[in-house]
Amino acid sequence: MKRLVYALIGVLAGSVLSFGIIFLLGYTLQAVGIHLYQSEFDQQRNFNIFIVCWLISAIAGGWLGWRVGVTRN
């Protein structure tokens, strides 16, 4: 049960980290005048990139959380 809790905490931490990094990157690029999208196609592409990054970070966070749960037992 502890492993599952650690894995869920890892998924949550990975998700928050992914959102934070991408949000700050978008905010910084907008502040310097770089627009990330001009059309609906660009918006969809950026959303797909975010989903892939989120999945990778959530899976990695869950795996790391699981490994921490295993080593603590």
Q: Which residues contact 2 (CB under 8 A, 6 or more apart)?
A: 69, 72, 73
Tokens 């749960």 — which residue?
Answer: 69
One-letter amino acid identity for 9?
I
Global pTM? 0.79
Residue 11: closest CA among 63, 50, 62, 67: 62
- Quote the pLDDT of residue 19: 94
In Å, the largest CA–CA distance within the chain is 51
One-letter amino acid identity for 2?
K
Read off the pLDDT of residues 32-63 as tens digits, 9 standing for 90 and up: 998 878 889 989 998 999 999 999 999 999 99
